[in-house]
Copies of this chain bind each other. A is one copy, B any other.
Amino acid sequence: MDLSKVIRDIPDFPVKGIQFKDITPVLQNIDAFKHSLDELENIILDVDFDVIVAIESRGFLFGAPLADRLDKPLSVLRKPGKLPAAVVQKTYKLEYGEATLEIHNDALKPGDKCLLVDDLLATGGTVAASAALCEELGGVVTGCLFLVELCDLPGSEALSNYPIFSLVKYGKDI
């Protein structure tokens, strides 16, 4: 199944000039959703990790079923003010604008090997901040997993310290 034919392009969202990759058609097509989960499992077969760290909110849609399938604990990175217990937080630049993420202090144990999960890798700012938060808690990021990678943007450079795994790649040279 070619997932790139299920994902749809929405022009000028969230701001003019951005061609948004909408993954909701993947979710709404259960064969496509299960195929995407199968393939996400396959591309991380050799990754050694203790915990899945899913990034709010679309990362939850893939991180939670992968935790269930792979029998791994699930920790969550959330937007500010959402996590009720003590947190560490980080503010970072986005492709469009700025954002902050938080993680509970007890979301990881020191030495935990972390697989970060999000739907899409663009400039990598969100995931670099996520990795830094995991490391602040003593975690070790052993992989970053995405359904979609926009290869014309410098995401892989921003995450050059980490192994990156992505299923559907878009870009000039693909």
Q: Which residues of A contact B (CB under 8 A)?
A: 8, 10, 13-14, 20, 22, 24, 27-30, 33-34, 37, 51, 54, 56-57, 60-62, 64-65, 67-69, 71-76, 78, 81-85, 104, 106-107
Task: Give the Cβ gap from A85 to chain B, nearest Cβ, in Å.
Answer: 6
| B67 with A64: CB separation less than 8 A | no
Q: Provided the pairs A20-B84, A57-B56 are in contact, do residues A68 and B67 lie with their beta carbons within 8 angstroms?
A: no
Within 8 Å by CB of A81, from B14, B33, B85, lies B14
A61 vs B34: C-alpha distance when bound (angstroms): 16
| B71 with A34: CB separation less than 8 A | yes
A32 vs B106: C-alpha distance when bound (angstroms): 17
Within 8 Å by CB of A69, from B13, B68, B75, lies B68
Which residues of chain B come closer than 8 Å to A64, judged between CB atoms?
27, 60-62, 64-65
Q: Which residue of B is nearest A54, CB measured?
A: B61
A74 vs B37: C-alpha distance when bound (angstroms): 13
What are 17 A-B pairs at a CB distance below 8 A? Answer: A10-B85, A24-B76, A24-B83, A27-B74, A27-B76, A28-B73, A28-B74, A28-B75, A30-B67, A30-B71, A34-B71, A54-B61, A56-B57, A57-B78, A57-B82, A60-B60, A61-B76
Task: Give the Cβ gap from A122 to chain B, nearest Cβ, in Å.
Answer: 14
A8 vs B85: C-alpha distance when bound (angstroms): 10
Which residues of chain B come closer than 8 Å to A34, judged between CB atoms?
68, 71
Which residues of chain B come closer than 8 Å to A57, judged between CB atoms?
56-57, 60, 78, 82
